[in-house]
Chains A and B, each alone.
Chain A
Amino acid sequence: MAQVMFTSADDLLAAYLSGEIDHHSAQMLRQQIDAELSARMPARLILDFGGVTFMDSSGIGLILGRARRMQATEGQLVVQQAPESIKKMLDLAHVEYQ
């Protein structure tokens, strides 16, 4: 099961993801993140993977989909706190992270 919690300040929205991200949970995460994006229209979205214990390529789809949304409004997406276990997946998909 995956979860997401949000904090926001000014034009920044941070989404703290935790648990296992797969095709099943990605659908729910996507809806929750997109609802926050629509409500707040941030210039910068941070996806924090610090609490993520598993991620398959559905997580890449989640990142790329949000990146497209941010690009559409000339916003910025940052991927941060990726645990070692998901770096291999991010590297394979050429997703940059901090």
Chain B
Amino acid sequence: MKAYNLMKISFYSRSVNEGFARGALAAFLAQADPTVPELADMKTAVSEAVTNCIVHAYPQQVGLVYLTAALYEGGGVKITVTDRGVGIPDVEKAMQPMFTTGNPEERAGLGFAVMQSFMDKVRVTSTPGKGTRVVMTKALSTKQ
């Protein structure tokens, strides 16, 4: 199915851009008229995915994070967050709740669990040394 509208942005993996990514996504999604909880869910999922890029994909350097959002007839939304960072050796393990390679004192290890809980579908593909792609979809309850 072809998207009727699409946006693509890229930005440095600086933590200040977590808020920028949420704001940009929200501004784009407004035209699809999501409910307040639906919009909050998608902003939260994107915040998690972008934070993963900043904390895990580019631990020692600044790299680019690519955010794409696509809108489909009937209210479908597809959000893709891609990096060209270190990659994830074991995606299945990384997606287990409470698993984190970050500071366990301060990171809850819930990023992927949140994405899965707040979106309808989450697909993660990763190649160590090349990067990671997270594709998330949600069907809005709007009449679009």
Give the A-binding residues of B (Cβ under 8 A): 15-16, 18-19, 22, 36-37, 40-41, 43-44, 47-48, 51, 54-55, 105-108, 110-111, 113-114, 117-118
Contacts and interface: CB of A to CB of B under 8 A. Distances in A.
A20 B19 contact: yes
B105 A68 contact: yes
B23 to A, nearest CB: 10
Interface of A: 1, 20, 22-24, 26-27, 30, 54-58, 60-62, 64-65, 68, 85, 88-89, 92-93
Nearest to A57: B110
A89 B108 CA distance: 12
A56 B47 CA distance: 7
B19 A61 contact: no
A77 to B, nearest CB: 15
B18 A23 contact: yes
Given A24-B18, A89-B44, A93-B108, 17 more contacts: A20-B22, A22-B15, A22-B18, A24-B16, A26-B106, A30-B106, A54-B22, A54-B40, A54-B44, A54-B47, A57-B108, A57-B110, A62-B106, A64-B108, A65-B106, A85-B37, A89-B114
